[in-house]
Amino acid sequence: MTHSIAIVCGSFHKDEIERMLEWAKEEASKHDLVVDEVVWVPGAMEVPLAIDRLLADDTIDGVACLGIIERGQTQHGLAMGQAVIKSIIELQLVHEKPVGLGIIGPGADPEHIEPRLEPHARAAVAAVGAML
């Protein structure tokens, strides 16, 4: 059975996320998933609201999210990442639909990003497929 999914993309690292999106779409086809909607948001803070709206749609069976939260000079990224991930877990439980986490970080240094782009993108979509 084919399932419809959506992908939420953080636009702060647009070039890298566009590459992740291509890998995510390729992975979706391997799991009988159709990417029906792609939503771009400004950053991590907006990811949970976008996911909530998508999961409320009866035509969407699951969501994958793609993004990068770099290490900064303060703890802002860490705090943001923890809050976003907690919200994503809660949204899965409220809607009873899977969300695949393809967010690199929080606390990613520049050298951590490139090697994680493809594996995180693919794993986020594969997790949705496995849960469906």
Average pLDDT over residues 14-43: 97
Give percent above pLDDT 70 in the chain.
100
For the stretch 115-128, pLDDT in tens is 999 999 999 999 99
For the stretch 72-97, pLDDT in tens is 777 777 788 889 999 999 999 999 99
79 vs 30 pLDDT, higher one: 30
Q: 101, 124 in Cβ contact below 8 A?
A: yes
pLDDT of res. 79: 85
pLDDT of res. 14: 94
Average pLDDT over residues 4-17: 95
Determine the Cα–Cα distance for residues 70 and 99; give it in Å rounded to an integer. 21
pLDDT of res. 39: 98
* Domain extents in the chain: 3-131
By CB atoms closer than 10 A (0-12, 13-18, 19+), residue 71 is: middle
Looking at the annotation, which residues are catalytic?
A: 76
pLDDT of res. 109: 87
Q: Are strands 99-108 and 33-41 parallel, antiparallel or unpaired?
A: unpaired
Determine the Cα–Cα distance for residues 17 and 34; give it in Å rounded to an integer. 19
CATH, range 3-131: 3.40.50.960
